């Protein structure tokens, strides 16, 4: 992959070793950043690790585990300049058919980890006077898709969480933003898109006429992770092929 970005000397932590997270981690490494990737799945990490990318196995569903994971990343990297949160799971079913354990699991994985990891990253960045935090949100944080209640609630929560972090940390030189993909082909969506007629149905809702790919997110994420985005904070950047326009 050819890149126009230069992240030489940048120490980056990416939470989420599959799909978009893996693609972003590789793009950062190809732009000469030193990268640590966190994921609960050891096999998935092994697929992501390459030159410039180090994997750390971590279950990110408790505050203590998140603090420990960030501390280990900082130790390995020698500091922290960029944090990307690309952790997310979904469970598609109507509200009236959603059990408590599904709600609690999505809340822990998608939103609580965003708070715990972001807080730990901010605790390193704010005293240092520099940092870039980027959350992977979703168009579901804005649109009311049926059968998406817990997922949509967590992504809406991520959007507001990052806005408050951005407000609190701006004076310290730490920016906090989100990139909101539209329908993107990842492990999270593969089974759903394989249902008869589903791909064509989803594509018909996107003005660009196609679904997104993880590679479509690297430019927006790397911009928000770069020094060039110093005056951009508290924003949700929709990378959705126009999905939120219709």
Catalytic (active site) residue 32: no
225 in Cβ contact with 28 (< 8 Å): yes
The answer as to whether 195 is a domain residue is no
Residues forming a β-bridge with 84: 14, 134
Residues forming a β-bridge with 133: 83, 176
The answer as to whether 106 is a domain residue is yes
The answer as to whether 57 is a domain residue is yes
At residue 140, the pLDDT reads 94
Structural domain span for residue 133:
11-185+214-238
Residue 8, pLDDT above cutoff 90: yes
Average pLDDT score over residue span 73-92:
96
The answer as to whether 245 is a domain residue is no
CA distances to 63, 71, 105, 122 from 68, rounded to whole Å, are: 9, 5, 20, 14
> How many whole angstroms separate alpha carbon 13 and alpha carbon 110?
17
DSSP state of 86: -
At residue 243, the pLDDT reads 92
Residue 211's nearest CA partner among 233, 235, 234, 192 is 192
At residue 2, the pLDDT reads 45
183 in Cβ contact with 243 (< 8 Å): yes
Residue 1 — very low, low, confident or very high, per pLDDT cuts 50/70/90? very low
DSSP state of 50: B
Read off the CATH number of the domain in which 21 is found: 3.40.50.720
At residue 189, the pLDDT reads 75
Per-residue pLDDT tens over the stretch 181-196: 988 887 767 777 888 9
How many separate domains does the chain show? 1
The answer as to whether 202 is a domain residue is no
Lowest mean pLDDT among 62-66, 113-117, 124-128, 194-198: 194-198
At residue 3, the pLDDT reads 54
The answer as to whether 209 is a domain residue is no
The answer as to whether 128 is a domain residue is yes
Which residue in 151, 183, 192, 238 is the catalytic one?
151
The answer as to whether 161 is a domain residue is yes
**Cα 241 to the chain's mean position, in Å?**
18
| Mean predicted lDDT score pLDDT of the chain | 94
């Amino acid at each position: 992959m050819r890149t126009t970005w230069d992240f030489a000397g940048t120490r980056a932590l990416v939470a989420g070793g599959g799909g978009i997270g893996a693609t972003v981690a590789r793009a950062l490494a190809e732009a000469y950043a030193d990268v640590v990737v966190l994921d609960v799945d050891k096999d998935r990490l092994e697929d992501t690790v390459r030159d410039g990318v180090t994997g750390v196995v971590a279950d990110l569903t408790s505050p203590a585990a998140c603090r420990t994971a960030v501390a280990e990343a900082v130790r390995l990297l020698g500091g922290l300049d960029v944090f990307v949160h690309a952790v997310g799971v979904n469970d598609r079913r109507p509200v009236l058919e959603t059990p408590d354990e599904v709600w609690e699991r999505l809340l822990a994985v998608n939103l609580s980890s965003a708070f715990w990891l972001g807080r730990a990253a901010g605790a390193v960045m704010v005293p240092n006077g520099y940092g870039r935090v980027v959350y992977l949100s979703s168009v579901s944080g804005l649109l009311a898709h049926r059968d998406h209640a817990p997922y949509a609630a967590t992504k809406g929560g991520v959007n507001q969480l990052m806005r408050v972090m951005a407000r609190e940390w701006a004076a310290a030189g730490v920016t906090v933003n989100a990139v909101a993909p539209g329908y993107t082909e990842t492990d999270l969506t593969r089974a759903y898109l394989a249902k008869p007629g589903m791909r064509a149905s989803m594509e018909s809702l996107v003005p660009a006429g196609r679904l997104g790919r993880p590679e479509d997110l690297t430019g927006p994420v790397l911009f928000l992770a770069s020094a060039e985005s110093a005056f951009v904070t508290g924003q949700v950047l929709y990378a959705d092929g126009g999905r939120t326009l219709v």
